[in-house]
């Protein structure tokens, strides 16, 4: 797959991700990997945040704002 196309596909996936899907994703990541103590705290913090958001607004798309998109760039220098 072409790099710009792959980045666009990833951007669209993240942009359309609901808080409910994010909570499920974090749960799957946490169960599939052994985390160090600091990373475990980080995962627990975000799991709680997205689980709460999913309970209140399951269809909310927390990454829909362009603020979250700059990570989807490529430098072909």
Res 11: pLDDT:
86
The series of mean pLDDT values per 10 residues for the chain, 77 residues long, is 85 87 76 63 74 76 82 71
pTM above 0.85, yes or no: no
Ranges of each domain in the chain: 15-56
Res 23: pLDDT:
78
Which H, E and C letters describe the chain, residue by residue? Answer: CCHHHHHHHHHHHHHCCCHHHHHHHHHHHHHHCCCCHHHHHHHHHHHHHHHHHHHHCCCCCCCCCHHHCCCCCCCCC
């Amino acid at each position: 797959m072409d790099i710009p196309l792959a980045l666009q596909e990833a951007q669209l996936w993240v942009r359309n991700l609901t808080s409910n899907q994010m909570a499920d994703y974090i749960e799957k990541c946490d169960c599939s990997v052994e985390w160090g103590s600091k990373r475990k705290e980080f995962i627990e913090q975000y799991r709680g945040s997205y689980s709460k958001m999913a309970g209140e607004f399951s269809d909310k798309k927390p990454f829909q704002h362009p603020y979250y998109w700059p990570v989807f760039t490529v430098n072909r220098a």
